[in-house]
Structure 1
Amino acid sequence: MTDELQRLADDLTADYLHGRWRPEAAEEHRARILFAQAGVDGGLDGLAAGGILAATSIEQMLRPHPELGSWRLAPVLRAYPGGSPEAQALVRDLLDAIAVDGFPLLPPRALRYIEAPAHYDGEAASLFLAGGITGCPDWQRRAVLQLDAIGSPAVVLNPRRAAFPVGQAQAAREQTVWEYEHLCIADVILF
């Protein structure tokens, strides 16, 4: 059985990272409140686990609002209680990123996120996400959200593609070249 929360959270996070989605003002406000509440729900054990979203907190977020039907976070939060721990952690990371996304000095994440095979030759500080790509969870997505949550201005260089053309020898060569070039220009490499 597919984890509905994982699917919803993956789609929304990808749209956030690529600049295709940004929460509406009221949705962002409620997400910030929910983020703060997640740090309180569950006490010290909840904080150690990265926060816990209690059902009552989610209900508060989803209380009636004229624009609730258009909020992309609403279906994610409705699916949250039945999701896997990994999917729930991704949602909490997304809420953390939204909570600090209003930094006026930082360009939007879409301008600070480069995913293979797109090339980066900018001057800003950059961080390469090195480590597993195939046969492992998409840890890179969570890492980018966590970097946003601490207000990192770094341009993130992500070798994990949304869709890698498996079986194409040229794509494999292109990937290897991309990784080498971007490892060389990165200011920081995160494993």
Structure 2
Amino acid sequence: MRKGEATRARIVGEAARQAAMRGLTGVSLADLAEAVGLSKSGIFKHFDSKEDMHMAVVEAVMDRFAEVIWKPAEALTPGRERLEVIFERWLHWAEEEWPDSGCPVTALSVELDDQPGPLRDLLHKRLQGWRKTMVREFRALRDPPLSEAEAQAAYFQMKSFVLGHSDSRRMMGDDDAKRSANAAFEALLDRTCRAAA
């Protein structure tokens, strides 16, 4: 990686960290410049505009999301084995990768859900791609495959367990949150597999 690319990546990484805690609109150029050792004008040598930087943050967060959650499961057999690893990695993502803020994807979704424009469009496109991937994985959970509607409902529940885990752990201080989330997910997989019997 060339020096300019490394500097840009460092800026985006710090901006993502700030955005996860404060939202994109709360990213402080002064704090960002200080954290990466540049002037404000030095930051904008790497981006055409603040929105361009925000777009890079969304892309970087979603790329990291896929790297942490999907990549460890990609080589596994589609179906239960892969889904279990994805779920475990998804809980890890929020709790271990972003301990100071929680899941930045959730934070970005809350911030951008009623903000029409390129940023929302980009996040929506990436999240739609993730949902399609997960629906495909749930369809492969059993033979005969789940219907599209059944797979979408199963993914909805899976995502709800992830969000519930984050709320229970971070807001309520529940030390059993991970155990509860895993038990709920295993029960979902069991119910879904039994439904084919």
Both proteins in one fold, TM over 0.5: no
**Rg larger in 1 or in 2?**
2
Q: Which has the higher strand share?
A: 1
Q: Which has the higher contact order (CA 8 A, sep 6+)?
A: 1
Query: What TM-score comes out, normalization by structure 1 length?
Result: 0.29
Query: What TM-score comes out, normalization by structure 2 length?
Result: 0.28
